[in-house]
Copies of this chain bind each other. A is one copy, B any other.
Amino acid sequence: METVPKKPATIRDVASRAGVGVATVSRVINDSPLVSPATRSHVLNVIAELDFVPSTSARRLSLGRTMTIAVIAPFFTRPSVMERLRGIKESLANSRYDLTLYNVETIERRDACMRDVPRRERADGVLIISLSPQDADIPVLQQADVPIILIDANHACLSSMTRVIVDDVAGARAATQHLIELGHRRIGYVSDFIETPFNFTSSRYRLQGYRQALDEAGISFRPQYHLQGEHGRNQARQMAHALLSLPERPTAIFAASDTQAFGVMEAARDLQIRVPEELSIIGYDDIEVAEYLNLTTIRQLLYESGNRGVSLLLNRLANMQAEPVVEVLPTELIVRRTTAPPMHEF
């Protein structure tokens, strides 16, 4: 079919058809009170007739505002990131902002996004999820001409940026303490790589919490009990295999995320090790399936972190000179059925 797409009507078309000036049409579009009811309704009619919709591009250029919020997120596919995104979408649904998504899977892209996205012509505000800026980025971000909110970016040098975070040290400590209180002494920790080009912080802070709890209980940290690897269920499964093949294998494993905890559960199953009788497992996040699989875990308010991020951003948008704010979300130990006292088999 060769239907030539008819060019959309412009504000000028409406104006001339209605026999008024473009300014009047503009006022009608923008609900200005400076239009007589009669003119308004007439213009409205013409708008309907012509099926006129104001061009967002033009309006953006003219206004200098884009009416869109940019979200920069790594590994969009991970459940925890998804959950945060959900919270963001939810809170944004009622506002008049559009959402554009920048997914980053490589460092190049991370850098490009950090540099190019926080510009007034691209977005009115930026939400960055789980990506701690490099030290070098920080001044850039601070000078950015649009407000930027960090979600789950926990970094010492960030004190001047507003962000919503969770106390990962405390969360991991609680997880480890739970295991210790149950009587475990040989506690493994399966995590992402502690140092990554992405500068993810969570596994690192959780390592701190883990070690703190150990220290407090007078249990010495054994390096061979901490394995790190690429994020993912299968990688965690392999690490767990390794841990569980140790001569003195751990009686409990703390995984840096629920996804990884599932990998650990699989490894236990592979090796015919009963959970929780022979091996306790605790995760982190409390994503939806955790409940279903009865995983003991540390709940962090993923969804809410998105909510809060948006509301901080909208505040900031309404009131540009606001002071930086740090909002700390609580964590909570959720005991289900993958943790229990160790068997006294020694």
Could you tell me which A residues sit within 8 Å of B by CB distance? 1-3, 5-8, 53, 55-58, 60-61, 66, 68, 76-77, 82, 85-86, 89, 93, 98-103, 105, 109, 116, 119-122, 142-145, 160, 233, 262, 266, 289, 292-293, 321
A8 near B119 with CB under 8 A, answer yes
Task: Show 10 residue pairs from A and B whose CB-CB distance is below 8 angstroms, ordered by the A residue.
Answer: A3-B142, A8-B121, A58-B61, A60-B61, A61-B61, A76-B89, A89-B101, A98-B102, A99-B100, A233-B292
User: A122 to chain B: closest CB distance in Å?
Assistant: 6
| A76 and chain B: residue at smallest CB distance | B89
A103 near B116 with CB under 8 A, answer no
B145 near A5 with CB under 8 A, answer yes
**Bound-state Cα–Cα, A68 to B68, Å:** 13
**Bound-state Cα–Cα, A6 to B53, Å:** 33
| A77 and chain B: residue at smallest CB distance | B86
Known: A8-B145, A68-B100, A99-B101. A57 touches B53 (CB 8 A): no
Beyond known contacts A5-B145, A98-B102: 9 more, CB 8 A cutoff: A55-B121, A60-B60, A68-B100, A76-B85, A93-B109, A99-B100, A99-B101, A100-B101, A289-B289
| A63 and chain B: residue at smallest CB distance | B57
User: A10 to chain B: closest CB distance in Å?
Assistant: 10
**Bound-state Cα–Cα, A321 to B270, Å:** 55
**Bound-state Cα–Cα, A57 to B120, Å:** 10
| A324 and chain B: residue at smallest CB distance | B1
| A83 and chain B: residue at smallest CB distance | B77
B116 near A53 with CB under 8 A, answer yes
B68 near A57 with CB under 8 A, answer no
Residues of B within 8 A of A5 (CB): 143-145
**Bound-state Cα–Cα, A29 to B145, Å:** 22
